[in-house]
Amino acid sequence: MTSARSEMLKAKAREILPDLERATDIAQKASAENRDLTRDERAMYDAAMQKARPILQGLRSQRNDAEIMAYARGEFDAIGGPLGNGAKSGQRLSFKGMAAGIGNRMMSGDMGTKALAPSGAAVVAQSFIGDPIALGRAATGLLDVLPVTVQSSPEYAYLRQTTRTNNAAVVDEGDTKPTSVLGLTRIEASLAVIAHLSEGFPRLWAVDVPAIERFVDAELTFGLLRAVEAKVVADINDTSGIQTQAWSVSIAQTLRKSLTKLEVAGYTPGAILLHPSDFEAVELAVSTTNAVEHVGLPYDAAQRRLFGVPIATSVSATAGVGHVLAADAVVLDTDSQGVQVMWSETSNATDFAANLIRCRVESRYGTSVLSPLGVVVADLTA
């Protein structure tokens, strides 16, 4: 990137920052009042986003220019949620590192001291990480293996493939070509709010920044992440048309037969989801079985892969039930508003008098099961 191009993008970013700040204030005010944007607010918000989009695209296209990327993060991310870090192809949802950003936004101070505002809101853009599978790192949770789609509206639709019949064949000159059945069905869906509220705690406990970060980190990474995983698992289980695999000799053999079902249906295996206790059983079986029986078993402990497929564990999965997913068969949906954190001293009649504060963390998520035939639910119980 040339110096002139760099300065031009910086200048454009500085010009639109006031509009972005107003747009963020509008979004936060509507969220705090638990309502949708009015027509005028929506028009102002959309206009600001329209101005920002080409600048962000210009900045992101220059991946090798660390200065510009650092500037973009410093300027645009300081505004918060609505812009976000839009998910790109091959990226996954992440809650890591968000606590510090929320803690910083929640803190304000005069004369060098820091204190928590009596009431207010913080919006942190939803974070995304590069595909850990492509990078060769171990997948540790369900969100590590699910592609992400950022929806522009809480109400959306997608196409689900309910059947798959390939009739492609050699055709003689002049003969009618065979028709393959794609089995596409339009599915209307909506993002669901996932939220939780803290119990009241003394306001002075929140004066120290590390304490705030630890609290918010626990709320986000444990509470919100676990709830998102639980929703995805429940949505998959409620989808009709998914395949099943009965128990067969061992967990490893049952999972291998599940992978075969995906391959026979024409799908590429993408991930295996297990409850931690079932994953433990797999590893213990490998370590205790007679070497003659398991030598050469395609299991990679360092990358947590079985038969070359990443294993993700989640307490949201049911012990004794495994989910084998084809690549891109299931997608996690979210919005562009980010994770919203609100706190108050007046959420009930006694908090103000007792000098207590409460925190609410929320965001919106959905699950798109694009290919039910690309999901196999396996019985791992003998």
User: What was the pLDDT predicted at 79?
Assistant: 35
Dump pLDDT digits (tens) for 127-165.
555 554 544 556 678 888 898 888 888 999 999 988 888
107 compared with 217, residue with greater pLDDT: 217
Q: Please report, as a single letter, which amino acid is at residue 57.
A: Q
* Highest-scoring range by mean pLDDT, 87-101, 128-142, 154-168, 283-297: 154-168
- In angstroms, rounded to a whole number, what is the distance separating the alpha carbons of residues 101 and 106? 9
Model confidence pLDDT, tens digit, residues 43-81: 887 777 777 767 666 655 554 444 444 444 444 443 333
Average pLDDT of every residue of the chain = 76
**Which DSSP category does 112 fall into?**
T
Judge contact between 194 and 362, C-beta under 8 A.
yes
8/253: higher pLDDT: 253
Q: What is the pLDDT of residue 362?
A: 87
Closest CA to 130 of 141, 144, 114: 144
Share of the chain above pLDDT 90, in %: 31
Q: For residues 136 and 268, which has the higher predicted lDDT (pLDDT)? A: 268
**Cα–Cα distances in Å, from 177 out to 163, 182, 184, 310?**
20, 15, 20, 40
Q: What residues contact residue 285 under an 8 Å CB cut-off, 6+ apart?
A: 250, 251, 252, 294
Tokens 């099943």: give the residue. 244
